[in-house]
A and B are shown apart, each in its own frame.
Chain A
Amino acid sequence: MSVTEQGLLERDKDTMTLNMGPQHPSTHGVFRMILEMDGEIVRSSEPDIGFLHTGIEKTAEVKRYVHCIPMTDRLDYLSPPQNNLAFCLTVEKLLGLDEMPARADYLRVIMCELGRIGSHLVWLGTHALDIGAMTVFLYAWRERELVLDLNEMISGVRMMTSYIRIGGVAQDATPQWIQGVREFVDIFPAKIDEYESLLTNNPIWMDRTRGIGTLAREDAINWSMSGPILRASGVKLDWRKQRPYSRYDDFTFDIPTQEHGDIYDRYLVRIEEMRQSREIIKQAINQLPDGPYKIQDNKVSLPERDTLHTSMEALIHHFKLVSDGVKVPPGETYVPTEGPRGEVGFYIVSDGSNTPYRMKLRAPSFMAIPGMCHLMTDSFIADVVAIIGSVDIVMGEVDR
């Protein structure tokens, strides 16, 4: 039925349907919501996702395990190392390798924490920009460029590093990179204080965020929220402490939590998390052990380049791994890890061949969207924008 007929039919309903559609500056990606508006108040909001559905889970079923790693980079494109780590941990659990060399684990931790800081900086910039603080957007990106330079220095690529591989990491850390990380660790706390001076005690910021989009503890658990949103509602769940993986228990860091669970608390939790991540990187880079940067079992990880010229079986292993890839024994498992947005994990079913039979990403933003839309009922339209920013959804991992 044409637009006008629809309009005439719906004349008597007193709410107005507003389409906050896929192409919108503050929906953080192609996310669409149909809002029933009564004047300025949102009565109900129905989400419509799938505008960035890339069919990665279907494509992964024909790719070898090592080929899936660049795919996982593009799922949550704000912290790619975290997705690589979740994928590799699950495959290594299926392979039965539970002990990585210490250096590999430390490099993995540093890359994931740098990814977390980079992702929180993007959240801070766009969230503040949506609410109107333009300068924070420019400040946050200035530090993000430092993180991207470190990514480029070690893996050659700014964002999609694919640095964490099955059985360790891709290349060893160079002394320049270690020096770069040390410099970043020294200057970063002053920068966080700069953001705090701009926002934390800013009356406009407090009016726009305090007491808005509050999520009680039981609701947060019932709506399957995870990560900073859960911790802002008072639940102390962080998978790095709950089930330490990749030697996270070597480092001392604490989990910031707040009580009320409104947007201001989520902001405080994430700012404190950036400080804790910087703390982890400092300890990891200072105690970086030397030794192999990947597992020596050549059935899983490639042998060293220079050994190819001398030893014959290194050449055979190299050829078999490159042409055939690693064969994972049949089975299914799921390993939860702590991403910047929450619990990230891959559920992988393997049938013994070298391609995953079924690969599913447990995406924190995907599980958070129904809860987010529940938060929006009976709030102002301006708060809808603040709530989307505070839940920090990334459409790459929502639509997969």
Chain B
Amino acid sequence: MTSEEIVAKCQSSLGGDLVQAEVNLGDAVIYVSPEALPKAAEWLKNDPDLRFDYLSQITGVDYLEQDREPRFEAVYELHSIDHGHSIRIRVGLDEENPTVPTVTTLWKGADFPERELFDMFGFQVTGHPNLKRLLMPEDWEGHPLLKDYPLTIEEISFSHNPDHKSELIKTKSNQE
């Protein structure tokens, strides 16, 4: 089925929970609220002529600098092996406590990406079998991929141009 047909079918049968649906650069994209995600995902997987049985990836995005209303967003990319078409679900999460229900019951491959959402963005994934840090050490504070988390660049300590060197020596001396 082409992207337009997928979007039309989703609007017709998921109308209530769908916040918005569009075809963006040729891909079918639907926006769903977090509460409606399990139902929508269940329907997308089991509907006979959609059959999205392959979870391609889950991504987290922090829209702090673009000051969109729901600051966070979890993006699910699904693909159907038999029909060969794909869909992207974008779930907007608000800023206070971003929580999203788990989809590991539908696709067992969602275990690691959801743990990475928790580790890198701090999203609470309700119902996840063992939700703890994946990439960062256990005792790490903060979630690195948030926009307000500093990149912690380290100042270079050697420099060949003279004026920069004097300033470096000044900062180094008052550091000790």
Contact = CB atoms under 8 A, between A and B. Distances in A.
Interface of A: 49-50, 53, 55, 57-59, 62, 93-94, 221-225, 235, 237, 242, 331-334, 336, 343, 345, 347, 349, 351, 357-358, 360, 362, 366-367, 369-371, 374, 399-400
Contact of B25 (A223, A237, A331, A351): A331
Given A50-B136, A224-B107, A370-B108, A333 B81 contact: no
A232 B57 CA distance: 21
Contacts of B4: none
Nearest to B110: A224
A94 B66 CA distance: 18
B54 interface: yes
Nearest to B140: A50
B17 interface: no
A347 B90 CA distance: 13
Nearest to B130: A46
Given A367-B113, A370-B109, A55 B25 contact: no
A347 B77 contact: yes
Give the dominant DSSP class at A's interface.
mixed
Contacts of A225: 109
A218 to B, nearest CB: 8
A93 B113 CA distance: 25
A367 B112 contact: yes
B145 to A, nearest CB: 6
A336 B108 contact: no
B107 A367 contact: no
Contacts of A58: 144-145, 149, 151
A223 B113 CA distance: 12
Contact of B66 (A223, A224, A357, A367): A357
B57 A367 contact: yes
Contacts of B79: 336
Given A59-B151, A347-B77, A223 B136 contact: no
A347 B24 contact: no
B108 A222 contact: yes
B168 interface: no
Nearest to A366: B112
30 contacts: A50-B133, A50-B135, A59-B151, A94-B25, A221-B53, A221-B81, A222-B53, A222-B107, A222-B108, A223-B109, A224-B54, A224-B55, A224-B56, A224-B108, A224-B109, A224-B110, A331-B24, A336-B56, A336-B79, A336-B86, A343-B56, A357-B61, A358-B59, A358-B62, A360-B57, A366-B112, A367-B57, A369-B112, A370-B112, A374-B108
Given A49-B134, A53-B135, A399-B135, A362 B109 contact: no
B65 interface: yes
B66 A351 contact: yes
A222 B24 contact: no
A62 B111 CA distance: 29
Nearest to A59: B151
Interface of B: 24-25, 27, 53-57, 59, 61-62, 65-66, 75, 77, 79, 81, 84, 86, 88, 107-113, 133-137, 144-145, 149, 151
A95 to B, nearest CB: 11
B148 to A, nearest CB: 12
A334 B78 CA distance: 11
Contact of B137 (A50, A93, A345, A351): A50
Given A58-B144, A237-B81, A362 B25 contact: no
B140 to A, nearest CB: 10
Nearest to B61: A358
Contacts of A336: 56, 79, 86
A242 B83 CA distance: 10
Which of A59, A332, A343, A369 has its CB near the most chain B CB atoms (within 10 A)? A332
Nearest to B57: A362
Nearest to B150: A58
Contacts of B133: 50
Contacts of B61: 332, 349, 357-358
Contacts of B62: 358
Contacts of A94: 25
Contacts of A224: 54-56, 107-110
Given A343-B56, A367-B112, A333 B24 contact: yes
Contacts of B88: 334
Nearest to A52: B135
A332 B65 CA distance: 15
Nearest to A370: B111
Contacts of B107: 222, 224
